[in-house]
Amino acid sequence: MRKRIGSAAHGQLQWFQNILKSLLQNDPANHHHTPGEHGSNAVLDDEQDAGVNGQRQEAIRAEEKDNTDRAAKTAKRLWERAYKDYTRITDKLKVLCPTPEKAPNLWPASIFAFLSTMAVFQAARRMAPDLSLGITAELLCDDFVRAMFNHRRQPDDYCRPKGHRYHSDEKFPPLANDLYANFKIHPHPDLATVLLSLVIDRRLRDPVLFGGTADRNQQLDLIRAPEFVASSEIGEACRRVWKRYLCDPKRKTVDGSFVKDFDKLFNLGTGGAAS
């Protein structure tokens, strides 16, 4: 079982690495055109008329437009593939009933899939800033939080397997609650930085909607393993995850607000720094 899971994770990792490699190779931000790149040997004499120079500039603009169009097509194709695979994963989470064998792998696998998807999303946005990807970074973050922390409603055509551990016919319990209540499993402290970044990001976007103390404290209890210790170093790690993966490149963000909310999250939400 572990060997099969490891092989699948390795294959997915290679796939995402290939995507990121392709994005970086074709990222127009890494290609800065200079006159020398468009025929350095064809030096214009002072006597050449403006018409020749104008044609040359028009050719450069046409080439840059072609590069932009190709970048947009590549970004769109890679994002659609990544999002399709990610949607397939989240659909499985809606009906998943953890077993003792699968439970230890659920936090690492789900966070890895989410973070990899966000990496492709961010790279695609940088590669083609004006391209509509059909979804925002904020919606992707909220969808993942719901998948892990909300009660799960199954599709109308879902048929519960015989001997299923869940008994509710309407909703399955949140995965995070199930992993803790039945298997005593928290995410590893290193992975908790991603989840804490999501908690703070939601609160920054809408303090009224996502700032409830009860829900926030419940999520913290499910996120923090006994060995987790809140500190300024952890806060900085969360901020880096937030800035690199969770924020839309066009979104105006203030790092100081994130740091302040991290401190507040532990000082006020849990009665002091975690220990």
Are residues 200 and 254 located together in one domain of the fold?
A: yes
47 in any annotated domain: no
Per-residue pLDDT, averaged over 155-164, amounts to 81
The answer to whether the CB of 112 falls within 8 A of the CB of 144 is no
The last residue of one of the domains, among 125, 140, 174, is 174
Concatenated DSSP letters of 33-99: --GGGGTTT-PPPTTS-HHHHHHHHHHHHHHHHHHHHHHHHHHHHHHHHHHHHHHHHHHHHHH----
Output the pLDDT for position 48: 54
Model confidence over 178-215: pLDDT tens digits? 999 999 999 999 999 999 999 999 988 887 766 566 66
Question: Mean pLDDT throughout 52-56?
Answer: 61
Say yes or no to pLDDT of 149 above 90: yes
pLDDT at position 18, please? Answer: 54
| pTM, rounded to two decimals | 0.74
Residue span of the structural domain in which 152 resides: 61-174
In a domain? residue 29? no
The answer on 212 and 119 residing in a single domain is: no
Which of 174, 197, 213 is a domain's end point? 174
User: For 113-141, what is the mean pLDDT?
Assistant: 93
Identify the pLDDT of residue 206. 82
Q: Where are the alpha helices (DSSP H) in 96-136?
A: 103-127
The per-residue pLDDT for range 68-84, each reduced to its tens digit, is 788 899 999 999 999 99
Query: How many independent structural domains does the chain possess?
Result: 2
**Residue 15 predicted with pLDDT over 80:** no
Any domain includes 226: yes
Does residue 267 share a domain with residue 192? yes
| Residue bearing the bigger pLDDT, 45 or 198 | 198
Residue 42 lies in a domain: no
Q: 95 lies in a domain?
A: yes
Which of 152, 174, 196 terminates a domain? The answer is 174
Do 200 and 231 lie in one domain? The reply is yes
